[in-house]
Structure 1
Amino acid sequence: MLLNLLLVGLTVSTAFAQRDEAFEEYLRQQEEAYEAYKEEVTKQYQEFLKAEREAFKKFQEEVERKWLKFIGSTEKDWVEYRHNLNVRTKVDFEKGEAWVEVLVNSDPQEEVARLKQAVAELVNDRGTTSDYEVRMPDGTVDVPKPLSDEPVLSRQLRTSDGKPVTEENAEVFASEVVREPYIKREEVVGKDGKRRTKLSVRFPLVPDHLRVRAQKYADLVHQYASKFQLSPPLVFAVIHTESHFNPKARSPVPAYGLMQLVPTSGGRTAYRYIYKEDKVLPPSYFFVPRNNIELGCGYLHYLRTRIFRGIQDDRKAIYCAVAAYNTGPGNVARAFAGKGSLKKALPLVNRMAADEVYDRLRRKLPYRETRKYVEKVFNRMPLYRDS
């Protein structure tokens, strides 16, 4: 009897062992498949980046053939080229100034008329998500799309008598700003060797242009701040600091859009976190405000609830998450533990008061840019308490 029980027990334990081995093998296969998939996605994105760089270089060379010097969109500047690259507009959303430039080789009266036309067109310009087409790894083409459903400068310009500039009075506004004392003329010799005359004019946006742009995105900010358990003023302050609410913001990294997401890091992590899918996202995806704000808020939530989940106080965790949004979790860990080890850093954070954590980040983060970034974000939050 005892022998029979031992045999039964041995058989059962062997069966369990075999089942565990099979399960472990299944997990190993799944992990290998996922790693292979990640590598393929990364490879695809590298191919896209190469194609994107080549398209950008070609576009830049075409601009320089006429203008000599290339100007493109940045974190704070919105730049567009129109009319076969003969018109260039630039809006500095930090300073609240707009520039309109045209290349001409005609008579003086036509020159001024073309400059007025370019100003009127800027008033109604909805922008584009890109200045050129890029072929994606899957064979599709990422084509430029409208940047905004309404004019990018809507409610940010006024006539001399204080009226908002709209499509109806755009020509009146253009006549006011394109006047001889304000027109700048200079000769430009492009890289094609041709001499052209450049006419330009500069004019200000309304004093509260930043508030006007922020209000455009208020519904989206509140929607995704609520979804990801964030303070709306925090999200507004992050967008303010990242892009000054420039919908075509682009950094050299490159990071894209309102919340300046990098497709290969924060953007990819956020998309996988929200949608449970790892995929290549083109820049045009990040220039859609809804997409950008959703991923930006999702990434902040991921940092707060996954990376810094070991921080017991929410205020301290938010300080660290905002710093990591700009510089990465490893550099945040270095501010506390001297090395990029979260395991060592988090207990130290938990032993500090919230104000001490904030002060430590402002003083000890490895890069000055991030130290200033943390200050700017939290100093700007009060601007959006009523937004």
Structure 2
Amino acid sequence: MRLGLAWLVALSLLAAESFEDYVKSQNQGVVEEKKAFDAAKAQIEKEFASYQAVIDEEFNNYKKSLGKFWSEPTLSTNKTWVEYSADMKTRHIVDFENETITIEVNAKDANEAKLMMAKKLSDAVTADTQEAYARDTLSQNIDKRITTSIKAPVPVAPILAPAIFATPPTSKEIAGYAAQTVKKSQILSKASKVPDTKLFSMQVKMPANATNKRSELYLAQARQEAQAHKMPLPLVMAIMHSESAFNPMARSHIPAFGLMQIVPKTAGVDTYQHLYNEKRLLSASYLYDSNNNIKIGTAYLSILYYKYLKGIENEQSRLYATIAAYNTGAGNVAKTFSGTYNPAKAAPIINSMSPQKVYDTMLAKLPYDETRHYLDKVSGRVALYQKLYGAQ
């Protein structure tokens, strides 16, 4: 009896020690996991600081070089695509939102200007994304200096041609279009910074249905990603329209890149980790690939909808919150309702409201005017694209 009791005591002690070891090992695992997470976060912060410094420096250098030839150096934005010739004496400014193409050239006289304009217009309407990236001095300089971000070849994909021509144009048709457009356009001139020249300019309107034509270029990929991530197709199209007006070469100062304006430090890092279980910064070249951009953008919408804002019960209310969060972040949406940046604390308040009340509250109280306008625009365009392309 005493021997049996001794064995029980011994076994109990062994079990206790084993359990204690188990708890220690589990705790150690949590500690190691947190260390790894913190290290990865610190590395991303360090890489992005370097990334941002390079971008700022190259932006300033490029603007200075342009200033030698142009009184008003102009760079691409999220809704404009600006491209300069190699000698920097000609440029086009494609405004995707207002559907105009502006051609500006430094020339000796009107006849020379017309020839230069026809060539620049031909280049603009027939360029593909690969050519545009290769001729983008600023992006090339940035990507050469940043070695830590994920790069990818920019594919050959049309930018303007399908919106201008009903069918793929021949060289003769392109030349004819350019010559006729220059001939019938009003050409203005003013003083130039380039010696012995004047600055000549003209503006061309795109066809009336140009935006719809451009949206069709990305419809198949948007539908594929919407289905993969269980998001409404009209929402993906409306976000794309509102972010870039379907400008595949979109670039903002934040910086954000491409059709769905992916910010490498935030949406880019979060979504790449979600998709590939790795924290990485994404380069401009990676995000100028429309397939990559739409995949990252749609997956980020899914993260907002199914993870950060999952506590919102009504689907329409959650959709409104997701739209606003894509622009300003889930924390700012939460703060609108609860005064804190925690979406979980905002969810019960949102759940007590009708979808219309949620929408009205955000329009009135979101911290930034930009986000209020964004919510209004995207919501309206969701209805537009549902009518054009259906729910999925």
TM-score of the superposition, structure 1-length normalised? Answer: 0.91
Task: Tell me what 1:78 maps to.
Answer: 81
Q: Residues 351 and 96 from structure 1, CA distance in 2 versus in 1: closer, same or farther, beyond 3 angstroms?
A: same
Distance 1:271 1:69, change over 3 A: same
Which residue of the partner structure matches residue 233 of structure 1? 234
Larger helix fraction of residues: 2
Aligned to 1:177: 181
Residue of structure 2 in register with 1:19 after alignment: 22
Q: 1:30 to 1:308 in 2, by over 3 A?
A: same
Map 1:254-333; keep pairs closer than 5 Å.
254-333=255-334
Residue identity (%) = 29
**1:40-79 equivalent positions in 2, closer than 5 A:** 40-79=43-82
Distance 2:93 2:211 in 1: 16
Distance 1:142 1:226, change over 3 A: closer
Select 1:116's aligned residue among 115, 118, 125: 118
Map of 1:197-208 to 2, 5 A cutoff? 197-208=198-209
TM-aligned CA distance change 1:370 to 1:54, over 3 Å: same
Closer/same/farther in 2, CA of residues 350 and 187 from structure 1, 3 Å limit: same
1:335-374 to 2 correspondences below 5 Å? 335-374=336-375
Cα separation, 2, equivalents of 1:62 and 1:185: 23
The verdict on how the C-alpha distance between 1:352 and 1:308 changes in structure 2, with shifts beyond 3 A counting, is same
Q: CA RMSD in A?
A: 2.3
Counterpart CA distance in 1 for 2:21 and 2:255 is: 50
Q: Deviations over 1:304-340 (max 9, x none)?
A: 1111112222222221111111011111112211232
* Unpaired stretches in structure 1, ≥5 consecutive residues: none
Asked if residue 5 in structure 1 is aligned to residue 13 in structure 2, the reply is: no
Q: Kindly tell me: are residues 120 and 27 of structure 1, through their superposed partners in 2, closer, same or farther at Cα, counting changes over 3 Å?
A: same
- Whether the aligned pair in 1 keeps the contact of 2:151 and 2:282 (CA below 8 Å) is no
Q: How many residues align?
A: 378
- Gaps of at least 5 residues in structure 2 are none
What SS does the corresponding residue of 1:66 show, helix, strand or coil? Answer: coil
Which string of whole-angstrom CA distances, capped at 9 and with x for unpartnered residues, describes residues 134-169 of structure 1? 2344379979x657522x1113236xxx99865431
Once the 2 structures are TM-superposed, how far is the Cα of residue 24 of structure 1 from its aligned partner?
1.2
Q: Distance in 2 between matches of 1:166 and 1:314?
A: 49
Larger deviation, residues 86-95 vs 313-322: 313-322
Matched, 1:168 2:168: no
242-251 or 349-358: bigger deviation:
349-358
- Local SS of the residue matching 1:343: helix
**Contact 2:337 2:349 (C-alpha < 8 Å) held by counterparts:** yes
Deviation at 1:357, TM superposition (A): 1.5
CA separation in 2, counterparts of 1:358 and 1:342? 16
